[in-house]
Amino acid sequence: MSKAPQESSVDYRPPIVVVVGHVDVGKTLMLDKIRGTFVAYREPGMITQHIGLSFIPWNAVERLAEPLLERFRLKGRVWIKGFLMVDTPGHAAFSNLRRRGGSVADLAILVIDITKGFEEQTYESLTLIRSRNIPFVVAANKLDRIYGWEPHENSPFLESFEKQREDVQGRVEEAIARIIEEFNKLGMEADRYDRVTNFNTQVPIVPTSAVTGEGLSDLLVILAGLSQRFSKEKLRISKGPGKGVVMEVREERGWGVTADVVLYDGVIRRGDTVVTMGMESPVISKVKLLVMPKPLDEMRDPEDRYMFMDEVTAAAGVKIVADGLDQVVPGAPVFVVPQESQLNDYIKLVKEEVSEIRIETDREGVVAKADTLGTLEAMVTYLRNQGIPVRKADVGNVSRRDVVEASIVRKKNPLYGVILAFNVKVPHDVEVEAMQYGVRIFRNEILYRLVEDFTQWYREQRSKAVEAELEKYIRPGKIKILPGYVFRRSNPAIVGISVLEGLIKPGYPLIRGDGRRVGVIMQIQDKGKPVPMARKGMEVAISIEGNVMVGRQVKEGDELYVDVPEEHALALMSQFREYLTEDEINLLKDIIKIKRRSRS
């Protein structure tokens, strides 16, 4: 078995860099180009299915980016050992990279398709980056797809850019400007990395191509520059027992269920006792094997064979082979227990860390379910940022208990008596029970879409509820009798009218500008067919019942108002003001004035 370097020879761990962005923007392909691997091509449909971990040593960065290191005077001045890269199918890896007091990730690469700009998961990833307060750089990828771009294999972006035609340079600048504009809308400053004047306040954008390798050396140099700004204390390795976080749990042929772990501090050894978290309770196990990919290789699909380690020092991506891992929850903390006598202390520590995420309150709110602890935390944060309260949040498939929780909420507030299921399964019997209780289950594998689906439904249902409530009240309206469109002068009067403001319905009483009642609308017809209402801008025929004759009480060209009872007007203004237009509010005020003047 190989043996990792001793603690005394490794003072600082490599920064942990998480790669995030919308699906199919080239995240894995970019890392493949840097490493010289072909992981992306072996993924179904070239879409990343599992979280990937790989170590890129600094000497490999120097080989790729030597000209730029010279240009930016970083040659020989970089003290970091390289980068531990965490690749992800979406944002899951980043949200799993959590620990008490902050994030395990030190840096992030937000990959954006330069030809498309911001997409759904771009916003989602950015929300998570900002919530963790992680420094990040934008890789504006697919530079080779800019019309007219002439590729220069593995060249720094600035070199390739200078060799392009002027019109191509213009198209690149336009694409970058669109990304900058979107950041500005979100209250953030951004610019092409070589024009950034303050890396503390501005987001650097590096145009890249995962296909040609252009700009990747620039990206690594910027990451190195950001890393150099860290306090060395931030990356110092402790000599204590290992601490990590579970990224993924899966079955491997010959090994059984394994856990891919990011070790962010300390040391883990073969034979160590570890404590992590299962679906229901802590999991205690003994490490049988520690397996790692070689440098510049990839955990989920190594080009070369795995290395079997006696011990591993942070920071590292390591596969743990041990018994009882099938119940472990991705996103759970992992602690090495140094002595048997301390086991209960570490069990308590795991429970405390997990309890920060499990949320259960008595107040109204949705039931949130996610596949991992990290994504659960991200989901709750995202929901609350959208103003959606959460009654209960938990990891795992939707259960009958979740349906009962949602049904309790539904009795008080039907709009919150729902289950939001993020990337988890809903068993058939649970789905049937939910239908019996009238509990709606929203499902999606993209958090942004899940919340969007729910909020759209919520708005629609709320709007229907409000409309049903508004039906109880007479709404304001103002009409004009169209000259030349008097079809019957009385018993009932039938006239053509134009709706100037608000709306009218059958049964609505009408008054003149002096407050005198002129009758009640019996029927509204549009093109000869009865309609339930007419809104501002419509021209229709109405019949008016009451003691009214056109030519006496009303004349052609007269403007009439809906006679809104004062108690209705007050209720509309106080309870439903947000659902009225500014014109309707002003019209209500006019009607109240007319009625009060007529009484004085």
Helix (H) or strand (E) holding 367: strand 366-370
Structure tokens at 84: 């531990």
pLDDT: is 409 or 230 the higher one?
409
Q: How far apart (Å, rounded) are the C-alpha atoms in residues 272 and 289?
A: 10
Residue 149 has pLDDT above 90, yes or no: yes
**187-239 pLDDT, tens per residue?**
999 999 999 999 999 999 999 999 999 999 999 999 988 888 776 778 887 78
The pLDDT assigned to 35 comes to: 79
**430-483 pLDDT, tens per residue?**
999 999 999 999 998 777 788 889 989 998 888 888 888 888 899 999 999 999
Which among 546, 500, 498, 489 is positioned nearest to 526, based on CA atoms? 498
Model pTM greater than 0.75?
Answer: no
Helix (H) or strand (E) holding 394: strand 390-395
What is the CATH topology of the domain spanning 243-353?
A: Elongation Factor Tu (Ef-tu); domain 3 (2.40.30)
Percent of the chain with pLDDT over 90: 49
Instruction: Give yes or no on whether 243-353 and 477-599 have one common fold.
Output: yes
Catalytic residue among 91, 152, 428, 568: 91
Residue 43 has pLDDT above 50, yes or no: no
477-599 has CATH 3.20.190.10 classification? no
Which among 211, 218, 224 is positioned nearest to 195, based on CA atoms? 218
Q: What residue ranges do the domains of the chain occupy?
A: 7-235, 243-353, 359-470, 477-599
**Residue 205 β-bridge partners:** 138, 192
Phi and psi at 102, nearest 5°, equal: 155, -155
Q: Which residues contact 238 (CB under 8 A, 6 or more apart)?
A: 265, 266
Q: Which residues of 507-532 are buried (b: 16+ CB within 10 A; e: fewer)?
A: ebbbbbeebeebbbbebbeeeeeeee
The pLDDT assigned to 356 comes to: 61
The pLDDT assigned to 11 comes to: 67
**Cβ-contact 298, 53 below 8 angstroms:** yes
Residue 309 has pLDDT above 90, yes or no: yes
User: Is 91 one of the annotated active-site residues of the chain?
Assistant: yes
Residue 3 has pLDDT above 50, yes or no: no
**Residue 542 β-bridge partners:** 495, 524
**Which CATH class name applies to 359-470?**
alpha beta
CA angle 78/79/83 to nearest 5° reads 90
Residue 537 has pLDDT above 80, yes or no: yes
Q: Where are the alpha helices (DSSP H) in 108-265?
A: 120-132, 157-162, 166-185, 216-228
> pLDDT averaged over the chain?
86
7-235 has CATH 3.40.50.300 classification? yes
